[in-house]
Structure 1
Amino acid sequence: MDGAPQVPEIRTTCAYCGVGCGVLARPDGAGGLTVRGDPDHPANRGRLCSKGFALGETLSLDDRLLAPRVSGQDTSWDAALGLVADRFSQTIAQHGPDSVAFYVSGQLLTEDYYVANKLMKGFIGSANIDTNSRLCMASTVAGQKRAFGTDTVPGTYEDLELADLVVLVGSNLAWCHPVLYQRLAAAKAARPAMKVVVIDPRRTATCDLADMHLTLAPGSDVALFNRLLVEIHKGGAVDADYLHHVNGFEETLRAAMAQDGGATGLDPAQVAAFCKMWVGTEKVVTVFSQGVNQSSSGTDKVNAILNCHLATGRIGRPGMGPFSVTGQPNAMGGREVGGLSNALACHLDIEDAGHRDLVRSFWQAPTMANGAGLKAVDMFERVRTRQIKALWIVCTNPAVSMPDADVVRDAIAACDFVVVSDVTANTDTARLAHVLLPATGWGEKDGTVTNSDRTISRQRAVLPAPGAARADWAIICDVARRMGFGSAFDYASPAEIFEEYATLSGAAAAVGRDFDISGLTGLGQAGYDALPPTRWPVAAHGQAERFFAEGQFFTSDGRARMVPVTARAPAARTGPRYPFRLNTGRIRDQWHTMTRTAKAPRLNQHLGEPFLEIHPDDATAVGVAPATLVRVTSPTGSCILRALVTDRVQPGQVFAPMHWTAETAPTGRIDALVPGIVDPLSGQPESKAAVVALEPYDAGWFGFAVSTGAMSPVCAYWARSRVEAGWRAELAGQEIPQDWEAEARRLFAMPDAHCQSIHDPASGTVRIAFLDGDRLLAALFVGRAPVALSRDHLASQLGQIAVAPLSGRPSADMPDPGAVVCACLNVGVNTIGAAIASGQATTVTQVGECTGAGTNCGSCRPEIAVLLAKAQRLEAAE
């Protein structure tokens, strides 16, 4: 009621990328949340990206899994967990501990991760637990361990703002880590002398900030950084004093000198200019991400970068150092608890017998895995060959996100016993499970996460758990107790798990490990509840925030290792049959396989269907017209995608995002095209260098549909997404229905609704609208070519009194905002264009002042700059 006291905001942490932004969330009384950035959180200082800004819109219960299910039927927790414990125990008894596996996720909280690893490695006695973080940062782990002795991130976010040169390698920071991009953009605006270099085969939104863009050949990062190391030596930038803390300089330099500098495909003058800039700038930070990691030589790429920083001593001091940015909210926390199959908790090594004994003794475990387990690709291969007979998948969707996704999907479907813990039953993977366990999601979970610069933050529950949903740690511990491991998993809260974990970190530090949060032991429940963002190490005796400024590495002799590396081309080779190189990645407003982000209508409006970026010359050569459909085929699979003809990609290269699933666009499952080729050291798949062939998809018809209710497309191509009042879908097929009205009624499940229609057989045009009185319920527009109409306008008319619903366009007195550019504030391209045309907006800042676009998260500012430049070119040509 009016005047009632407002519910207080709760401090928590964003559910998305590894930036780890603080969020202030408040229940809105209707099952959702109001969300704003936490101005006191050191990662984001109040900023949020479009995805974080829309978090409160992703909490609807319409697709939530609210009770355990066995064989598709709701059941009790007691029955479901009893079955899981019995089947895993029986499988282990009959076939041994390596016949079972867990596949977990960087979206788990640290406490969830910890107990899952404890159960598998210390009590089941197998290391067959791996994480989807294997797909995004395993090569960084392997490279840092080779160089430093531990998986240590030396620097902090502040270094990006203190640097005089920031080099972004394989990182589209503007779209994948938008808040870090905002921080970098603000620093550059405050200090225009700061330089930014982007190294990426593709021109991305991040290039808007760049002083230099190096479009190197895919996979040639090692060649470039080897050339840089040679120029460091020639330019006298080697720090001889720092090399007292480093082994391997001479042999690493010799390997670099032997490298063919032409492997990068870059203009030698551009390479020379980059090297001169890097060599001549002491305060340099090299940021690297998936473009480095997702490679069959990813570990070598990481070490090539680290070699340059070690040779110059530009590491561990303010404004300088190598910096890996992670893709998931708790990828770092998972690394810290031993979430990877080749690690133990607290950065202890599973291959080290002393470390294994330490953890076994600490856990008082009956057994301990005696070596590394199966990495993700190998794990699912063992599922395929039926060597793994019981599989528990937690909070991830490998039937879509793993390479060779069709094979992985079929392997899971054929596995003897599959358990899936998730928030929904409506994922490609959940549909394959024998047992579904309802887990709590963001907004309901309670625990900690660690971001890319080692800051531990609390994720706090803001809403009650819906239905019978339970926390992942509680589900895992309940199964462990039923398997006979009771007292070791008898936790009453995440605070108790954190206490045990922090205590173990002290024991790990005592044997020379970097990870130490022993200073956080003894918090108790109240201290844990109040824990502020805290960057580790937090040793009982105190320690510096940055690592390695004075050496002190975590190797046996305390010295870093420079590693001789030689560039290798991607494993898959292009040729006459598969002439194109496929790059995969993320888009600005979606997250992983869209289980969460697809529920927020605003996040579906910028890029609403799967697409393929293709260079204009290549599009012409293969006969693909803009906005038509293209079939993309690799040795492992096939997709149908919308053609986005653009010079953002180089000739011979194409790009497609990885978000769509059988739930949202069945022919857009891009990882079906990616082979299971991995880096031999890290086991990370080569997700950015598949080889593909392209051909036009010969559709007999194209369609666009909107509906207030769910749609059930039955055609060769479809992609659906939520809008404010329902759904929209792009459609295409080869067979033309004989009765379009009957097909539309089936599509919308509206057998009796009043219909208006226009059908022109000569042109192949069909327009059908279903109404309740004057209110639009659904509409279908069909043509022989992609249908031209105002899609956002039509979607906005759902449930409203429709004026000329068959026109597909707003009336003259109703402005059409156009396709959304700014997802945060819902600003369309036509609104921005009008502001530019009026003469009131001649800069990106002025566009923001006039329309609001770009004033929240800033991720759309590069796109606004492109619109301004295009308008200025047109004006100059007149």
Structure 2
Amino acid sequence: MDERPADTTIRTTCPYCGVGCGVLATPRPDGSVAIAGDPAHPANFGRLCSKGSALGETLGLEERLLFPTIAGARANWDDALSRVAERFTATIAEHGRDSVAFYVSGQLLTEDYYIANKLMKGFIGSANIDTNSRLCMASSVAGHRRAFGSDTVPGTYEDLEQADLIVLVGSNLAWCHPVLYQRIAAAKAARPQMKIVLVDPRRTASADLADLHLPIAADGDTALFAGLLPFLAEAGAIHCDYVARHTDGFVEALRRARGMRLPHVAEATGLDSRQVQAFYELFARTEKVVTVYSQGVNQSVTGTDKVNAIINCHLATGRIGRPGMGPFSVTGQPNAMGGREVGGMANMLAAHMAIEDPAHRSLVRDFWDARAMPDRAGLKAVDMFRAVADGRIRALWIIGTNPVVSMPDADAVKAALAACPFVVVSDVVARNDTLPFADVALPAAAWGEKDGTVTNSERRISRQRPFLPLPGEARPDWAIIADVARRMGFADGFSHASAADVFDEHARLSAYGNAGERDFDIGALAGLDQCGYDALPPVQWPQPRTVTSHGSGDASVEATAALANDGSRFFGDGDFFHPDRRARFVAVDVAPRRRLGKGRFLLNTGRVRDHWHTMTRTGRSARLSAHVAEPFVDVHPADAAAQGIAEAGLVTVRSGIGAAIVRCRTTDRQSRGSVFVPMHWSDEFSGSGRIDAVVAPAVDPVSGQPGLKATEVSIAPFPAVWFGFAITRSRPDPHGLDYFALARAEAGWRMELAGLAPQADPSAFATALLEAPDRAQMLAFHDTTTGAHRFAAFDGEALIGALWIARDPVAVSRVWAAGQLGDAHNAVRDRFRLLAGRGGADRPDPGAIVCSCFSVGVNEIATAVTTGRAITVEAVGAALKAGTNCGSCRSEIKGIIDDARLANTA
């Protein structure tokens, strides 16, 4: 790929969540890249969240995988690709087609996904290709297919702004999809009569915009929406004409739900019956309702039933496919939708066709001129790794994901990979928890180098365009896979010369044999040459070459290049994708509320605001690491007290399969009887923070999606006898520590640490940890009575590092201390301030970072509030810029303001 001019701004798409924000990337002469939101992109109109704003800080080549390896040793591409092809071919010959598998990622581009799926299903002849998207939206797929006959998201982002009621179910938009949250916040500010209901066990940041928060018990969503259906019937809110003309199964779904009266719903959900009634009445009387749901619905052993219980209510009221109304699944990954489009899951075929449908299999077989086609679904993610463990799968290719961290029962996944005869890993990083198990590692193109398309949660296809040269020997994923396919003897099916060629084939397949019978059709985008592909604007599907009325034989009309908004919605006038063109109500059963024994808790896992997946990208940014720098557990204060757990102490979270050690945060935003731990931390950044090693591998029987939010655990204090905090210029070696958590700092690293046995020689420990050379000047303070030890090592005026040790969590200003790594330290006063762990009046401590976009700390905001300089969120923004970019910190700012008011009135 040619290096582009440094003054050229490239329009591309963010690689994080499913919002699919447009990004303007401008490479600079010094090698940095300026990042801004694209005001012309219809997903974000110029907005970016904190993660998107920091993309330029994650593009360095340090810790990149830049060349292939075989058995950990550098290899050339020819040997590496030949090894992969030969081992897969030999394994298939000896053990059969289902003895091999691909585990891929929602981080892949559609073109990458397409080639991987084509190789596995069309030429190897197995359906053993699944994706980490199985962990985030498989229940939505299953629910859509049961209700609609296809995996169709009916609405658009505009519906969120046009609705009069938005119901957020298991979706913390404020942190996980901040740009959508800000679109809703702006709409509510313009129309204060808009109502928002949050259904979530936690009072998340999204609750601050909500008119009603329902702190539902884990997995109570099915009961809540099953109970809503008969309430709607009795309230006269059923759209009888829509139900009669366009649906089937309403009577049975209603009959099954009849027993869910308000007292039963309250019991099953843990909610007060008055809260339930308030929500039901609001839903019944409001025509324009959008129900947004995400991982709190999907990541459940009853996730598919939850999805269908929600859809049932929208079908019954006819509130679907029209402006401002409909069920809306918000995807977690940038290309989860694109992966679904090309059949990148074990139970799907390309172009939204069904693997169980003989006619669909025939269409794909004919179009691909496939050598072999499976006639049944392959192994879904959890079952796939079980098959690796028991030897049924003997060759596995992992592409763009880190399952040793992200899969449930993660230690079992680690053991399975260790025992697997042949493992291939394609990735962009040189170190993660999965790479040590790779017999062959292949360097892939990263964001900024990749060339292709992604599809966001509203079915909008956008280009990811390259603005950086491919570094080292890295190659695009689709090209790597296609090269292996050719070496396996399938050259006739993999002659693509570019990503544009792959996209063209994908578009042609979507239209092949499709006269409107299938939802996914982008035939109008087929035939693009390289220039047309390069210039492709964001476009929402369907994009059929022709539009034909179903079954009428009417003449076709040419589709426009971009459909009108009404045309981009589905199902407003029925016309579903079951053979009879009618939707299906799904009668769901409600399980009794889960009861726990004394001292037992339900573990809920999820995301934090500024990190992403397993931190292989966001962990490179000091700014993003400043908000939350170590793994934690949120516990209700009463639960913490009952378990003898202190605020900021360390906690062991343990299930029947594993344990993690994390920092305690007590908060009344957490419901009693449950705890929350983020899923991001890996062994690269924490010695024991891999929370998915604690999560049970139970799955939804329909979708195969794991229940990542309701594992029964115990919590107990971790009996550390000393705690420490360190800052270092070079990455410290945590070997031998009982607890550690690493995070980037602007000029080095920050580190939390703790031990179960007293330090025999704190000075020797500090010298080793800080890697202080013999010439270093070591400043030290010891108080053997309190167990406090402090060290700072200098090389001339440069700070090498500092360490603070105490018997309790050390009282050091972390942000201020980490900021000292880049400063000169000549004055004795400054060096002693460093030992004290806080600056003087002339160098105030900003406090823990609240606004990552502008690096504004809690102390700065509190000072602005208490001095009267800013007493509203808007005034804080005007004074400090905090909260004025992505807005995801606005709820925290409001909390600081409220706390200051309480303090003043105390």
TM score, norm. by length of structure 1: 0.98
The match for 1:400 is: 405
**Residue 306 (structure 2) pairs with residue 293 (structure 1):** no
Alpha-carbon distance in structure 2 between the residues aligned to 1:728 and 1:431: 25
- 2:130 touches 2:379 (CA, 8 Å); kept in 1? yes
> What displacement does 1:837 show?
1.1
For 2:155, the equivalent position in structure 1 comes to 155
Task: Give the Cα–Cα distance (whole angstroms) in 2 for the partners of residues 759 and 386 of structure 1.
Answer: 56
Letter in 1 for 2:305: D
Q: Select the residue among 860, 870, 874 that pairs with 2:899.
A: 870
Please list the CA deviations of residues 467-525 of structure 1 after superposition, one character each: whole Å capped at 9, or x if unmatched: 00000000000000000000211111000001111000001533711000001011111
Map 1:78-227 → 2, pairs under 5 A: 78-227=78-227
User: What per-residue deviation string (whole Å, max 9, x for no partner) do you get for residues 728-773 of structure 1?
Assistant: 0000011223222221222233242221111222211110111011
Unaligned runs of 5+ in 2: 547-558
* C-alpha separation in 2, matches of 1:579 and 1:817: 38
Contact kept in structure 1, 2:137 and 2:298, CA below 8 Å: yes
DSSP-derived class of the 1:510 partner: coil
1:590 corresponds, among 611, 629, 638, to 611
Task: Tell me if 1:354 matches 2:355.
Answer: no
What residue number does 1:608 align with? Answer: 629
Question: Which residue of structure 2 lines up, in the alignment, with residue 788 of structure 1?
Answer: 811
Determine if contact 2:6/2:29 at 8 Å carries over to the other structure. Answer: no
2-structure distance, mates of 1:59, 1:339: 27
Q: State yes or no: 1:743 paired with 2:744.
A: no
Question: Shift of the alpha carbon at 1:258?
Answer: 2.1
1:558 aligned partner: 581
After superposition, the C-alpha distances for 1:265-303 in whole angstroms (9 at most, x for unaligned) are 111111111000000000000000000000000000000
- Residues 1:719 and 2:741 aligned together: yes
In structure 1, the residue matched to 2:381 is 376
Q: Distance in 2 between matches of 1:775 and 1:366?
A: 64
The one-letter code sitting in structure 1 at the alignment partner of 2:641 is T
The equivalent residue for 2:27 is 27
Alpha-carbon offset, residue 569 of structure 1: 5.0
Task: Give, in whole Å, the separation in 2 of the partners of 1:846 and 1:393.
Answer: 49
The 5 Å alignment of 1:354-503 reads: 354-503=359-508
Distance 1:316 1:423 in 2: 40
What secondary structure does 2:835 align onto? coil
- CA deviation digits over 1:297-323, x for unaligned, max 9? 000000000000000000000000000
Out of 477-486 and 260-269, give the one that drifted further. Answer: 260-269
Distance 1:829 1:849, change over 3 A: same
Q: Is the 8 A contact 1:777 1:799 kept in 2?
A: no
- Superposed CA deviations along residues 542-571 of structure 1, whole A, max 9, x for unmatched, are 37210000000000111000000022258x
Q: How does 1:431-830 map to 2 (within 5 A)?
A: 431-507=436-512, 509-510=514-515, 512-541=517-546, 542=559, 544-568=567-591, 574-576=596-598, 579-713=600-734, 714-752=736-774, 753-802=776-825, 803-804=830-831, 805-830=834-859
1:69/1:435 contact within 8 Å kept: yes
Query: Greater CA deviation, 460-469 or 537-546?
Result: 537-546
Give 1:268-307 correspondences, 5 Å limit.
268-307=273-312
Contact 1:710/1:748, CA 8 A, preserved across alignment = no
Question: What letter is aligned with 1:277?
Answer: L
Letter in 2 for 1:655: F
Distance 1:134 1:636 in 2: 21
Would the alpha carbon gap of residues 361 and 6 (structure 1) be closer, same or farther in structure 2, given more than 3 Å must change?
closer
Q: Distance in 2 between matches of 1:508 and 1:774?
A: 72
Deviations 1:110-129 (A, max 9, x none): 00000000000000000000
1:646-704 deviations in Å (ceiling 9; x for gaps): 11111111101000000001211000111110000000000000000011111010000
SS in 1 for 2:189: helix
Tell me how far apart the structure 2 counterparts of residues 368 and 569 of structure 1 sit (CA, whole Å).
42
Query: Structure 1 569/525 Cα, relative in aligned 2: closer, same or farther at 3 Å?
Result: farther
Residue of structure 2 in register with 1:255 after alignment: 256
Partner Cα distance (1:798, 1:6) in 2: 31
Tell me, in whole angstroms, the C-alpha distance in 1 between the residues paired with 2:28 and 2:810.
39
CA contact (8 A) 1:712 1:748 kept: no
Kept in 2, the 8 Å contact 1:19–1:179? The answer is yes
Higher mean displacement: 809-818 or 170-179? 809-818
Per-residue CA deviation, residues 97-139 of structure 1 (Å, 9 max, x unaligned), is 1000000000000000000000000000000000000000000
Q: Distance in 2 between matches of 1:584 and 1:573?
A: 19
Offset of 1:815 from its aligned partner?
A: 1.6
Structure 2 CA distance for aligned equivalents of residues 306 and 128 of structure 1: 30
Q: Is residue 2:860 matched to residue 1:831?
A: yes
Given that 2:770 and 2:793 are in contact with CA atoms closer than 8 Å, whether structure 1 keeps it comes out as no
Q: In 1, Cα distance between the equivalents of 2:92 and 2:703?
A: 28
Shift of 1:625: 0.5
Map Cα deviations across residues 369-389 of structure 1 (whole Å, 9 max, x no partner): 121000000000000111110
Equivalent residue for 1:840, pick from 869, 875, 883? 869
Query: Following the alignment from structure 2 to structure 1, what is the Cα–Cα distance between the partners of residues 752 and 715?
Result: 21
CA distance in 1, matches of 2:840, 2:516: 73
- How far, CA to CA, are the matches of 2:449 and 2:652 in structure 1? 41
Code of the residue aligned with 2:572 in structure 1: it is: A
Look up the equivalent residue of 1:257 and give its one-letter code.
R
Corresponding residue for residue 41 of structure 1: 41
CA contact (8 A) 1:24 1:38 kept: yes
1:776 is paired with a residue of what secondary structure?
strand
For 2:879 and 2:641, locate their aligned partners in 1 and report how far apart those are by CA, in whole Å. 39
Deviation at 1:574, TM superposition (A): 3.0
Gaps of 5+ in 1: none
Structure 1 segments of 4+ aligned residues over 4 angstroms from their partners: none
Post-superposition shift, 1:706? 0.3
Counterparts of 2:268 and 2:343 in 1: how far apart (Å)?
Answer: 37
Distance 1:431 1:547 in 2: 46
TM-score (norm 2): 0.95
**Helix, strand or coil: the match of 2:544?**
coil
CA distance in 1, matches of 2:446, 2:6: 24
2:444–2:475 CA contact under 8 A, matched in 1: yes
Find the counterpart in structure 2 of residue 328 from structure 1.
333
SS in 2 for 1:798: helix
Letter of the 1:188 counterpart: K
Q: Per-residue deviation at 1:774?
A: 2.5
Moved more, 171-180 or 486-495: 486-495
| TM-superposed deviation, 1:440 | 0.6
C-alpha distance after superposition, 1:421-461 (max 9, x if no partner): 00012100012111110001000000000000000000000
CA contact (8 A) 1:167 1:198 kept: yes
Judge which range, 19-28 or 541-550, deviates more.
541-550
